[in-house]
Amino acid sequence: HFLPLRMGVRVLGSLGVIGTAVSRETLEAIGSLIATAIERAGAIEQLSKTEADRQSEQLRSALLDSVTHEFRTPLTGIKAAVTGLLSGTHLEPAQRTELLTVINEESDRLNRLVGNLLEMTRIDAGAIHLLREPCELQDLVGSALELFAERAKDRPIQIDMPPDLPLIPLDYVLMVHVLSNIIDNALKYSPVGSPIEIKADLQDDQVVLEIADHGLGIPEEDLGRIFDKFYRVRRPESVSGTGLGLAICKGIVDVHGGQISARNRPGGGAILRIAFPLEALKASPSVTSQ
């Protein structure tokens, strides 16, 4: 027996029954319940799709806003410096060096921005492929610091790492990316000339790396949220950013099986902490894809 599943005048499908043990009235009642359930499920699906579309639209415009701003600032700096170099026939060597330094630093900033956007897209798509190799933390930190050689030249950088730390199977390139985002923040959010401390340690069964600065620190209520995509604490107002850096750090550290967290230094400033449980690292295959 077949009977239509109706919702008002609309037919949503049909119900086929083998055997005749149930009366036609009972079948119609069951059919009407099924039709209501299908209609409701459809409505819920539509609603969540609309909500997802709304959220992704919101995200897209937030991304566009911050990215446009973030691209424009270094480009404006580069353009002004190039114009200065082209027009200033009587520039002193020191002035030329200053303009070239602007171009150098601002193009690094653009490069970091593009790198972050690419990395975020990969994390969102669940497409991070780890190329693990045994890494020395000293090397990782050294490679990340090299990227800031110019910007950090007036900063005392104190590094404290025991020489006998074990090699850790990490994706070198991605971890340098993580460290460079954290060091970039430490430089951005602390006063010129103030020190940055980088410390690594073996604590119980994990390797812990901490990067501390002497800046304003992070408001306690924001400590848990700064790893969210696009989340920014607008403090100080003048420091620009996209709110993507720490979200990317978290994405990459998570895929490695580690944890990243933030807290404030008792004397003022922020401490970013990355912990890799040795057990999780041992259990991981040498190449992992997600």
Distance of CA 282 to the CA centre of its chain: 25
Q: Give the number of residues in contact with ligand ADP, rule: CB under 6 A.
A: 22
Please count the other Cβ atoms lying within 10 Å of the Cβ belonging to residue 172: 16
Out of 215, 251, 258, 281, point to the residue binding ligand ADP (CB under 6 A). Answer: 215
Out of 233, 254, 265, 288, point to the residue binding ligand ADP (CB under 6 A). Answer: 233
Site for ligand ADP in 257-276 (CB under 6 A): 270
In the complex with ligand ADP, which residue's Cβ is closer, 78 or 247?
Answer: 247
The yes or no reply on residue 169 touching ligand ADP (CB under 6 A) is: no
In the complex with ligand ADP, which residue's Cβ is closer, 171 or 184?
Answer: 184
The yes or no reply on residue 180 touching ligand ADP (CB under 6 A) is: no
In the complex with ligand ADP, which residue's Cβ is closer, 174 or 244?
Answer: 244
Shortest separation between residue 114's beta carbon and ligand ADP, angstroms: 14
In the complex with ligand ADP, which residue's Cβ is closer, 74 or 245?
Answer: 245
Angstrom distance (rounded) from CA 128 to CA 174? 9
Those residues with Cβ within 8 angstroms of residue 215's Cβ, 6 or more apart along the chain or in another chain: 186, 189, 190, 191, 194, 268, 269, 270
Shortest separation between residue 230's beta carbon and ligand ADP, angstroms: 8
Q: Phi and psi (nearest 5°) for 276?
A: -115, 110
| Strand-pair partners of 276 | 207
Q: Which helix (H) or strand (E) holds 100?
A: helix 93-124
Angstrom distance (rounded) from CA 260 to CA 121? 20
Shortest separation between residue 91's beta carbon and ligand ADP, angstroms: 33
Distance of CA 10 to the CA centre of its chain: 47
Q: Which residue is nearest to ligand ADP (CB)?
A: 241
